[in-house]
């Protein structure tokens, strides 16, 4: 839920969402994508940022003709409840028993199977049922295989559905040094789209490009783009970020929307050789000021950050000591210039002249920034700043 700033003193762990940075990222991708349909992807609880918190701000910043993209039907229904009247594309699988809800709420549906097409075709609706055909060009996930596409198109027509668009998904677009597979995928996709258009379908919304493709592979921009991780100011990968900077986009650097804060719950000094936390996996090497921070893996702070993660207290980097617990972490606050109980702790974001990034935590945990932010627990309060 989105809270007001006046509530911050009542909280022990929360997220701050920068509307200014959100607006900046929107403008960056508008400039990069040009005159195409932009689909802002807010799946996975808006990549962990909080769909009910970020959604209203995003809706106010969106322009006419821009869309939203989700994975779940329930995400789309939430967007309708908070006032979204723009087109919403459901990109994930919908249980057959719930397809009627999607139709009644005028939602676009990504289809990959003939069974979904037939189920939609049997429904009665006062408005057109618009679908996007997903083509599996090499990710081997959702989508009809290229050789199945024309049969699917004929089935869509036979059942009276509106084929509004076609889509595919890149498997390896971030590998900027080895573009061969992405080139093959776009070649396959363009070939299928051409055959479908030759059958008389207009296909006004054809989309393949994600954040990474929009940033570094302009030849993948068709009539629409899907912007996910970049919307939130995070780079799809280090390779993409490096290539993007080389392409003279320095003035269009992405800005992280999310900052994750907590507080110091307890301060204590312990002597050298003191075991710390579960399993006694670490002992202090010197007299150490310990800070207990009330956030843990149940909140989405990855257990892989045990003895590896860093937080900021009074602008100083403080290492996580021992294991991350379910509801708390233990950090070395010895160099945090008089750290005290109730001090703000920054888990992700800037504090004074220092910062901890989602990319840094991802590297320490052996994962990607997508996972670091998308797994932040939904129960944590979020508010726009």
Other beta carbons less than 10 A from residue 361's beta carbon: 25
Which residue in 43, 232, 297, 310 is the catalytic one? Answer: 43
The percent helix, strand, coil of the chain (3-state, each to 5) is: 35, 25, 40
Judged by DSSP in three states, 358 sits in: helix
Write out the H or E segment, with its range, that includes residue 42: none
What is the number of helices (H) and of strands (E) in the chain? 12, 20
Other beta carbons less than 10 A from residue 63's beta carbon: 9
Which residue in 20, 115, 278, 285 is the catalytic one? Answer: 278
Burial class for 89, CB neighbours closer than 10 Å (0-12, 13-18, 19+): buried
Of the candidates 193, 172, 219, 165, which has an alpha carbon nearest to the alpha carbon of residue 37?
Answer: 165
b/e 111-122 (16+ beta carbons within 10 angstroms → b): bbeeebbebbbe
Q: Catalytic annotation on 285? A: no
Spatial contact of 382 and 59, defined as CB atoms under 8 Å apart? no
Other beta carbons less than 10 A from residue 250's beta carbon: 9
Of the candidates 69, 75, 72, 73, which has an alpha carbon nearest to the alpha carbon of residue 52?
Answer: 75
Per the document, the length of the chain is 385
SS (H, E, C) 87-116: CEEECCCCCHHHHHHHHHCCCEEEECCHHH
CA distance 236 to 220: 16
Beta bridge mates, 2: 382
What backbone torsions phi and psi does residue 216 show, to the nearest 5 degrees? Answer: -130, -10
Q: Catalytic annotation on 278? A: yes
What backbone torsions phi and psi does residue 122 show, to the nearest 5 degrees? Answer: -85, -5
CA distance 353 to 315: 6
Beta bridge mates, 263: 344
Let me know the angle formed at the C-alpha of 279 by 276 and 280, rounded to the nearest 5 degrees.
35
Catalytic machinery residues: 43, 278
């Amino acid at each position: 839920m989105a809270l007001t700033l006046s509530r911050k003193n009542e909280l022990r762990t929360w997220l701050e969402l920068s509307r200014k940075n959100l607006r900046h990222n929107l403008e960056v991708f508008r400039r990069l994508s040009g005159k195409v349909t932009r689909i802002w992807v807010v799946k996975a609880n808006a990549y962990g940022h909080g769909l009910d918190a970020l959604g209203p701000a995003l809706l106010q910043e969106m322009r006419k003709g821009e869309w939203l993209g989700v994975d779940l039907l329930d995400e789309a229904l939430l967007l309708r409840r908070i006032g979204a009247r723009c087109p919403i594309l459901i990109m994930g699988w919908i249980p057959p028993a719930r397809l009627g809800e999607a139709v009644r709420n005028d939602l676009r549906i990504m289809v990959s199977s003939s069974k979904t097409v037939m189920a939609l075709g049997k429904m009665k609706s006062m408005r057109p049922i618009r679908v996007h055909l997903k083509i599996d060009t090499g990710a081997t996930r959702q989508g009809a295989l290229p050789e199945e596409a024309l049969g699917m198109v004929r089935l869509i027509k036979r059942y009276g559905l509106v084929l509004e668009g076609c889509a595919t998904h890149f498997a390896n677009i971030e590998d900027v040094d080895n573009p061969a597979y992405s080139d093959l995928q776009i070649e396959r996709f363009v070939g299928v789209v051409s055959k479908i258009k030759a059958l008389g379908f207009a296909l006004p919304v054809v989309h393949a490009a994600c954040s990474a493709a929009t940033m570094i592979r302009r030849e993948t921009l068709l009539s629409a783009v899907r912007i996910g991780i970049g919307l939130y100011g995070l780079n799809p990968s280090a390779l993409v970020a490096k290539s993007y900077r080389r392409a003279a986009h320095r003035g269009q650097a992405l800005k992280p929307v999310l900052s994750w804060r907590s507080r110091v719950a307890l301060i204590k000094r312990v002597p050298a050789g003191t075991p710390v936390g579960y399993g006694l996996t670490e002992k202090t090497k010197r007299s150490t000021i310990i800070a207990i921070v009330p956030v843990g893996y149940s909140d989405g702070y990855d257990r892989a950050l045990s003895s590896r993660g860093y937080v900021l207290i009074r602008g100083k980097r403080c290492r996580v000591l021992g294991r991350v617990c379910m509801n708390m972490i233990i950090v070395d606050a010895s160099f945090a210039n008089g750290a005290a109980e109730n001090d703000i702790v920054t888990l992700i974001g800037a504090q004074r002249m220092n910062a901890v990034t989602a990319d840094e935590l991802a590297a320490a945990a052996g994962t990607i920034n997508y996972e670091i932010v998308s797994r932040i627990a939904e129960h944590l309060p979020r508010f726009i700043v």
